[in-house]
Amino acid sequence: MHKSEELFTRAQKTIPGGVNSPVRAFKAVGGTPRFITKADGAYIWDADGKKYIDYVQSWGPMVLGHNNDKIREAVIQAAANGLSFGAPTEAEVIMAEKVAEMVPSMEMVRMVNSGTEATMSAIRLARGYTSRNKIVKFEGCYHGHADSLLVKAGSGALTLGVPSSPGVPASVAEHTITVEYNNIDSVKAVFEAEGEDIACIIVEPVAGNMNCIPPVEGFLEGLRKICDDYGSLLIFDEVMTGFRVSRGGAQERYQVLPDLTCLGKVIGGGMPVGAFGGKREILTHIAPTGPVYQAGTLSGNPVAMAAGLAALEQLQDANLYEGIFAQTQALADGFAKLADKHGIPLTTNVAGSMFGIFFTEEKRVTNYQQAINCNTEQFKKFYHGMLEQGVYLAPASYEAGFVSKMHDASVIAATLDAADKVFGSL
């Protein structure tokens, strides 16, 4: 691990915390982050040449696995024609058509450069469209790092103990109301009190930033009804779930249609991309057709569009999702069985190709409180044991795990062999 250690020491001199995104710093688990040199299929390699089975998959984008040959070729071809034009291209039109075809509620789409931009812009649109200021989000859900959404947020903000970040003015945060995920009564109560002032509810339809917590039955339907009753917009943040928990995202999987959808990760095939969209009636309020301003120099970048289109193209394969979902379930079931064999209390959650492991006595984990009450010390030991065995999990217990097409039966079996040894050593 010399090279990663050397690089980390060097990085900390010129990059805050040595990383460009906080969760990567291994603060939650301790030790040295692995600096990565290459990735292929289900695997990544660190700077010291050690190979790992990777369940981070760049935090979700790599639903086809790393270094997919068709995406790589599309990027090379697009790059040969120039990297950015700041003018429209046909690829953007094809991308919008493809997204509208695949995601049930999306009639119109605007491309941006990250998930953060997508959620920030969708919130602005919801506020502009409804002429209301307040927004409702769920404790432990993470929607990127825009000011109004960094209130009781998940992911690194939760891991580092700053769910409501300093630097967000109180005058901004006061418009964000937080309620409990999977608790429809907490949402009803807020709407009964101030529903006429609420522009939107934004929700991760499967929460993936407080570990992995799928919606309980009726929860998403309940949100839809409340929004309809009060004239508020329902925003699904499908940055993580889009094209992952089903071809058409969580809205297809759970059959609940939002007014606006935010996308990222898979839609860029690994390039920096995001998108937001939804009903035509609402999207036409965006500039230049409407007054709500939103823009981006690099938005719809031709290289990113080529990567995203090559990814979406391959998602049409009829058997793809069934295969990945089966491997994800086999992995989670395997973890549960092995933990049981070694007397370790463990609960697992699965939603499509996302999974979560919780070191807890609870038989079912459905909310934030249960997620944060898990045994983090045991997770840390498990984490380092797995790393030692060559399995790279997210270096924080509040992150979902991701399985790709390339995690075949042999990869899952190798992971479970490693887990058997590690559970046995806890």
Ligand X SMILES: N[C@H](C=O)CCC(=O)O
Ligand Y SMILES: Cc1ncc(COP(=O)(O)O)c(C=O)c1O
Q: Which is nearer to ligand X, 259 or 399 (CB)?
A: 399
Q: Which does 269 bind (CB under 5 to 8 A by kind): ligand X, ligand Y, none?
A: none
138 beta partners: 179
Sign of the torsion formed by the C-alpha atoms of 188, 194, 198 and 203: negative
Q: Decide if 113 contacts 239 (C-beta within 8 A).
A: no
57 forms part of the interface with ligand X (CB under 6 A): no
Q: Which does 399 bind (CB under 5 to 8 A by kind): ligand X, ligand Y, none?
A: ligand X
Q: Which of 18, 22, 61, 144 binds ligand Y (CB under 6 A)?
A: 144
351 forms part of the interface with ligand X (CB under 6 A): no
352 forms part of the interface with ligand Y (CB under 6 A): no
209 forms part of the interface with ligand X (CB under 6 A): yes
263 forms part of the interface with ligand Y (CB under 6 A): no
Q: Which of 399, 401, 411, 418 binds ligand X (CB under 6 A)?
A: 399
Active site residues per annotation = 142, 237, 265
51-54 and 391-392 as β-strands: parallel, antiparallel, unpaired? Answer: parallel
Q: Which is nearer to ligand Y, 21 or 289 (CB)?
A: 21
CB of 328 to ligand Y, least distance (A): 17
CA-nearest of 164, 144, 124 to 204 is 144
Q: Decide if 401 contacts 354 (C-beta within 8 A).
A: yes
**Cα(69)–Cα(270) distance, integer angstroms:** 13
116 forms part of the interface with ligand Y (CB under 6 A): yes
239 forms part of the interface with ligand Y (CB under 6 A): yes
Q: Which does 204 bind (CB under 5 to 8 A by kind): ligand X, ligand Y, none?
A: ligand Y
Structure-token pair, residue 88: 């429209």
Q: Which of 155, 246, 301, 404 binds ligand X (CB under 6 A)?
A: 155
Q: Which does 264 bind (CB under 5 to 8 A by kind): ligand Y, ligand X, none?
A: ligand Y
Our measurement of the distance from residue 276's CA atom to the centroid of its chain's CA atoms, rounded to an integer in Å, reads: 14
59 forms part of the interface with ligand X (CB under 6 A): yes
CB of 109 to ligand X, least distance (A): 21
Q: Which of 22, 115, 258, 269 binds ligand Y (CB under 6 A)?
A: 115
Q: Decide if 146 contacts 332 (C-beta within 8 A).
A: no
Window 194 to 213, contacts with ligand Y (CB under 6 A): 204, 208-209
Q: Which does 159 bind (CB under 5 to 8 A by kind): ligand X, ligand Y, none?
A: none
CB of 13 to ligand X, least distance (A): 21
Q: Which does 23 bind (CB under 5 to 8 A by kind): ligand Y, ligand X, none?
A: ligand X
Give the HSE-up count for residue 312: Cα atoms under 13 Å, Cβ half-sphere: 25
CB of 221 to ligand X, least distance (A): 25
Which residues in this chain contact ligand Y in the complex, by CB under 6 A? Answer: 114-116, 119, 142-144, 204, 208-209, 237, 239-240, 264, 274
Which residues in this chain contact ligand X in the complex, by CB under 6 A? Answer: 21, 23, 59, 142, 155-156, 209, 240, 399
